[in-house]
Structure 1
Amino acid sequence: MAPIPDQDPALGNTPEFSVSELSGAVKRMVEDQFGHVRVRGEIGRVSRPASGHVYLDLKDDRAVLSGVIWKGNAARLQTKPEQGLEVIATGRLTTFPGQSKYQIVIESIEPAGVGALMKLLEDRRKALAAEGLFDADRKKPLPFLPKVIGVVTSPSGAVIRDILHRLRDRFPRHVLIWPTRVQGETAAAEVAAGIRGFNALEPGGAIPRPDLIIVARGGGSVEDLWPFNEEVVVRATADSAIPLISAVGHETDTTLIDFASDLRAPTPTAAAEHAVPVRADLLAQVMDLGTRQHRIISRRIEQARSDVRSLARALPKPERLLDMQRQRLDMAGEKLTALKARGFERHRARLTTLDARLSARSPAAQVTASRRQLDGLAQRLSRRRATATETARRALDPVAARLPRLFTNQVVRARRRLDQSTRLLETLSHKSVLERGFALALDASGRPIRSADAARAEGRFALEFAGADRVTVKTVDGPPPEGSAKKPAQKAASKQAPKTQATGASGGKGQGELF
């Protein structure tokens, strides 16, 4: 490297570099010395920007080394870089002049032991196993031929196509797909929601409830399959009331959902094979069973026929059996004829006796006897009626003689009581008082006025005299007119009663002052 020509002679022979020249010299030296290295460490910070490159830190207990994985290498890595994973990174060292730091450009990564991620997985497996989530007695048997199969997987991957194709080849069934992500941060929650969602469907509802669930994903790295190691997925699988098959990854891949599921399939295609039998094999088996059943029934029928023929040869001829019965029938007929004749005689004698008894009790005889009895009763009734009539007449004659006198006495007493009541009414009536020259003061409603204050308060009232004549009177305040002569009784009355003026009378002309 040539020094800058213009330099101060006082500095001697010390060369002078620009920043870029010095950074370039350091870069060449580092790349020459460490052109190919393998570094072991634990992955710390991991960053994945939109460019597709991966930036990370490799660290141990004393130092940290920055690293970068270019986009093309990042897509080809078998082991995806995750924080906490202990790895061996292969690449080359270089410098980044823009920040004056050195870093390793990683070309490949391979696991370097269990690491923090594997240790976390093992610890989780032990903890869940201790809770009994992986026990064999929790495993449920798979249905032989489910009507509905629920599949929890990505709807756009090759996995669902493989499952549907395999089911169609073996035994077509109704398939429900619960679309989820199978990789990334939200994949675990979506898979658990799919399992619980299928279990929450009501039997006989609008959406049929699956008889079997398949959780499927294709192969990938430990990091890609990590959502199926999450506790939420494992617990949803263990709590599923519907039998569940796990088909995650390839045959060599193992996740925690495999321990909690009722059956682990090595591949999604194998899960479809475990889910349903081969329809053609079932048809062949049914046909074979039908053929065997037909042969067995045919043999049983032929054997029964042979047994019947053997039994028929051992039986006697029907004619011989009937001869004995015919003879017995003839003997019984003769006995029956004799018994019939004796029975007829016995019944004839009994009928003769009954006829005599019946003649004595015939309706004509009964009517004649009843008529005689009625005639006797009629005669007795006539005699008793004449006797009763004469007795009643003798008892009523004295009563008939006394009745006019009693009626006359009742009328006289009633007339006396009426006269007494009339005299008492006339004595107590106010009209007798009016006949003696008195008058009755009445208010506007026709009720008597009982005091001078009431007459003064009324202002106008009526005076009723004998003969039902009334005079309307109006009260007048002030002294009496001069020259009026009053009787001593009238003077005394004038001191107590108000002065009045007559305004009219019924049945005559107007009248002046009354008092």
Structure 2
Amino acid sequence: MSDLLDDDFEDAGGQGPGSNAPEYTVSEISGAVRKTLEGAFGRIRVRGEVGRVFRARSGHLYFDIKDAQNVLASVTWKGQLPGLTVMPEEGMEVVASGKLTTFGSQSKYQLTVDQVEPAGVGALMAMLEKRKKQLEAEGLFAAELKRPLPYLPEVIGVVTSPSGAVIRDILHRLRDRFPRKVLIWPVAVQGRDCAPQVAAAIRGFNALAPGGAIPRPDVLIVARGGGSIEDLWGFNEEIVARAAAASQIPLISAVGHETDTTLIDYVSDRRAPTPTAAAEIAVPVRLELIAQSDALGARLSGALARGMGRRGERLRDLSLALPGAESLLAGPRQRLDMAASRLPAALQAWVLRRQARLAQVSAVLRPGTLRARLRDLSERVAGLDARRLPALARRQGLARREVDQLAARLVPAMIERENRRRRREMEDIARRLAADGARRTGQWRDRLAGLDRVLQSLNYEETLKRGFAVVRAEGRVIATAAAAEAAAALEIQFQDGRVTVSTGGSPTAAPETDAGGQKPAPRRKKPKPEQGSLF
């Protein structure tokens, strides 16, 4: 720009203000400055501290990169944001890569950033510490949120790279300890795609329905081999930590070696120093369980035998303290003997008491008393028998009147009920006959329509509508060329009428009717051309 202005000044003859120097528009000046700036710098890398960060509604990201003295305005367009491996945050020390350009609307220059990297391990550790404090303040590291691991899971879900040595180590260790079903969700374990894929895998395993076509894991293992802090940075992203904290399935983190620590280690339910250790934590040793079960069985059998022995000894000790059978039965035997000795006298006293009672009762039963009692009963029976026949007659009359009254009421009701039943039967029969008649009529109508369609399809007049014609001579149909040449005149039937053709002349219209029984429409005469027409 300075060269351009110097050349113009020389062309003007070195004259001062007010000379005839060329005039530039603001846009020309802005464009020249932009070309000069972009040509001098091109693509550059700038190191500094991130200042103000602003996300516009359009999706573009505006932020400042500053040092102790100056500030460089920077922008990342909406389409470039998915390509950033690290999102700039205020206070972060970064190395930004992009192109230096100008913004003519505000007469300032800015850096268009398409790549952001933390400025060294110190910046990454500071960012990690900041995120750790934020998540800890939200309570994601609380011990009460840790879920217990199942003792012997049926299905184990593994989130890792399918091509690395980590998955082989896990499967080999599980096979040695206790073979279980393993579901592998392949993900990228480093780079830009690592964090979103790991978070999606954790959410995907949790979205599986229990008892579905794909079994839902009982425990998850998120594993990766060792590496630098940059290689393991995907497991320090906030999206991964929140997905692990929200997992309903118990989760074991096995990222890096024992000395490596990532954010997922703090939010997981259990941390393993290595992927192999994660497999050891997930399942017990099958042979140890068998040996432990056998030892417990042996202990149980021994304890049962010892218990039975002690109880047998106790039973024998108690039996020694019990008295003998003779001593137990001596008292009852003595009481039985005493009762047997008193039984004859008791029987005799009982018989004497019964005899005295019988004599007391029989003293009042004299023959005269019994005859008087019998006479009274006979007279009473005779009186009852004399009243029996009139009473039966009256009862029979009352019953007959009641039956007549019931019959008078029941006969009309029965007749009316029978009439209603017969009427319902007749109405039902009429409905069924009407329905059957309608059905049969419909069947006959459909059959008649089908026969009519077959008749129409076989009618030769339908064939005439498709462009065919019938040739007759003397009322007979001509089917061969020889018969047509032998005839003196031919009658040709078309769709709309008939014409007669003589063998030696032009065809003449016959006053015949068309196929529909109507006279054919008169032929239109071709109008004569007007005078002067070219046709």
Q: TM-score under structure 2 normalisation?
A: 0.46
Q: TM-score under structure 1 normalisation?
A: 0.48
The structure having more radius of gyration, on CA atoms, is: 1
